[in-house]
């Protein structure tokens, strides 16, 4: 999965083919394309801007997780008060954390948008490679944490169950796999739309999932968006990315316009969140207002993406471009290793100790260095894993894929014989 991510920016690694020969451009072939077709051809060229966007997205996710889980006073963090009243003395912590989160909560939506922007072409071998990485990272992390005395199990069976259910601990991975499976249908759907149809879909989907769904999610799971943590929301945002790529919505605006939009949406959302938090004294309101399907969060996500889409393309050659592309290719590994993974338990334990002491100012000062340390260290670990495992995993994935294809063909053949649909060709006289 990460090999494709090294070649093209897509959410956590799309499978779109980035290799397009130079002589396939409209100018060199003399073939004229419709504007949307010409734009799609250009998308297949190296776009370092989108690689850089991907780096920002994973950094935002790491900042978000450290802010809500590891910054607080006396162990009271933003996530601690997600379902209840804010203890006395913790309001300052919550308000500052909410301010930071207002600007970085967009990371997940950015990955879905990038995936749609380039489109995903489903490959079973890529999904298998992704799941192997999930299991290896989590199981190795559990083993190291157990040996270090940072975790324990009641029985060997509990340890086995914990490891076997590793993918369930990464909701984003499950949603991304679901998007990968259904992406061919979404791609065809977008291709079938006219510009007018695309506008209708956008308006209706925003109304249903981003307004009605956002309000309904506070009271229960009636729509299925689950505050943006569900496949349905990932599907919708993926389609938005495809629509931007195909129809070029927003490309006439300058990056400065989108930068202002991003800042305004983030600040407006924070103003609402802070006011409600201070007035209600209840963290669940703030938690809900930072849902991924909050209209302001989605608007900020799109605006931040468009800053990079509309900006002047960065050079595709040189050491800087190579570094950006390399770091972008590590985004999935960084996500897996830093989130719900006991591999970095010692470091997270250090941060928790800081949180338990009266060192709130120091926690905020150390936030950015902590994020950069994790990003560099985990990127290096992911790079080494890919170097060691890419070939054997790819070989095994290929064998598994062919075995499944043969099994599928065998089932179709048996079904054909049972139901009389397997017609043998008769030789022509």
Q: What is the mean pLDDT of each run of 10 residues along the chain (429 residues)?
A: 38 37 35 47 70 96 88 68 69 86 95 93 81 89 80 84 90 92 93 94 95 87 85 96 93 95 97 87 78 95 97 90 93 88 69 67 84 92 87 77 79 75 45
CA distance 179 to 177: 5
Which among 359, 257, 369 is positioned nearest to 302, based on CA atoms?
A: 257
Which token pair is 37? Answer: 């077709």
Tell me what pLDDT residue 357 has: 61
Give the CA dihedral 194, 232, 296, 112, nearest 10 degrees: -80
> Residue ranges of the domains in the chain?
2-419
Instruction: Report the length, in residues, of the chain.
Output: 429
Measured CA angle at 87 (ends 81, 88), to 5 deg: 150
CA distance 256 to 353: 41
Tell me what pLDDT residue 413 has: 81
Tell me what pLDDT residue 219 has: 82
Place of tokens 């060199």: 28
Tell me what pLDDT residue 73 has: 64
Tell me what pLDDT residue 84 has: 64
Which among 325, 334, 417 is positioned nearest to 378, based on CA atoms?
A: 334
DSSP state of 315: P
Tell me what pLDDT residue 424 has: 46
- What pTM was computed for the model? 0.81
Q: Are 355 and 408 in contact (CB under 8 A)?
A: no
CA distance 373 to 379: 10
Give the CA count within 13 Å in the CB-facing half-sphere of 270. Answer: 19
CA distance 61 to 359: 23
Q: Are 125 and 397 in contact (CB under 8 A)?
A: yes
Measured CA angle at 285 (ends 284, 287), to 5 deg: 60
Tell me what pLDDT residue 348 has: 65
Residues in Cβ contact with 377 at an 8 Å cutoff, skipping those fewer than 6 apart: none
Q: Are 183 and 121 in contact (CB under 8 A)?
A: yes
Which token pair is 411? Answer: 């089932």
Phi and psi torsions of 178, nearest 5°: -60, -45
Tell me what pLDDT residue 82 has: 63
CA distance 362 to 351: 11
Q: Are 129 and 135 in contact (CB under 8 A)?
A: no
CA-based diameter of the chain, in Å?
92
Which token pair is 322? Answer: 């190579």
Element (H, E) at 306: helix 295-310
Which token pair is 291? Answer: 């849902």
């Amino acid at each position: 999965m990460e090999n494709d991510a090294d070649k093209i920016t897509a959410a956590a690694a799309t499978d779109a083919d980035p290799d397009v020969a130079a002589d396939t451009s409209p100018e060199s072939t003399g073939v004229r394309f419709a504007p949307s077709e010409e734009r799609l051809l250009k998308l297949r060229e190296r776009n370092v801007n989108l690689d850089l966007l991907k780096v920002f997205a994973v950094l935002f996710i790491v900042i978000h997780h450290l802010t809500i889980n590891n910054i607080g006073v006396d162990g009271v963090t933003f996530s601690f008060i997600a379902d209840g009243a804010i203890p006395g003395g913790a309001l300052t912590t919550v308000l500052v954390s909410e301010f930071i989160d207002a600007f970085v909560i967009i990371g997940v939506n950015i990955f879905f948008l990038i995936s749609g922007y380039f489109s995903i072409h489903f490959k079973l071998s890529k999904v298998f490679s992704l799941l192997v990485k999930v299991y290896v990272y989590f199981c190795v992390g559990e083993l190291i944490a157990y040996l270090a005395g940072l975790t324990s199990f009641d029985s060997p069976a509990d340890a086995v169950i914990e490891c076997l259910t590793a993918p369930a601990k990464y909701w984003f991975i499950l949603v991304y796999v679901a998007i990968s499976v259904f992406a061919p249908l979404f791609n065809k759907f977008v291709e079938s739309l006219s510009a007018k149809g695309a506008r209708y879909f956008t308006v209706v989907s925003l109304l249903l999932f981003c307004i009605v769904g956002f309000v309904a999610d506070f009271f229960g799971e009636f729509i299925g968006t689950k505050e943006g943590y569900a496949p349905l929301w990932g599907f919708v945002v993926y389609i938005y990315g495809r629509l931007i790529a195909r129809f070029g919505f927003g490309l006439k605006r300058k990056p400065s316009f989108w930068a202002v939009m991003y800042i305004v949406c983030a600040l407006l959302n924070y103003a609402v969140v802070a006011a409600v938090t201070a007035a209600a004294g209840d963290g669940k309101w703030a938690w809900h207002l930072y849902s991924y399907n909050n209209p302001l969060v989605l608007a900020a996500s799109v605006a931040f993406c468009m800053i990079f889409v509309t900006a002047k393309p960065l050079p595709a050659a040189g050491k800087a471009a190579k570094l950006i592309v390399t770091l972008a290719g590590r985004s999935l590994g960084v996500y897996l290793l830093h989130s719900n993974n006991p591999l970095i338990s010692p470091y997270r334990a250090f941060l928790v100790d800081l949180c338990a002491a009266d060192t709130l100012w120091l926690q905020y000062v150390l936030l950015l260095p902590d994020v950069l340390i994790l990003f560099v260290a985990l990127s290096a670990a992911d790079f080494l894993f890919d170097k060691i495992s890419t070939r054997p995993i790819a070989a095994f994935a290929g064998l598994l894929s062919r075995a499944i294809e043969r099994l599928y063909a065998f089932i179709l053949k048996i079904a054909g014989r049972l139901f009389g649909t397997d017609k043998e060709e008769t030789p022509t006289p």
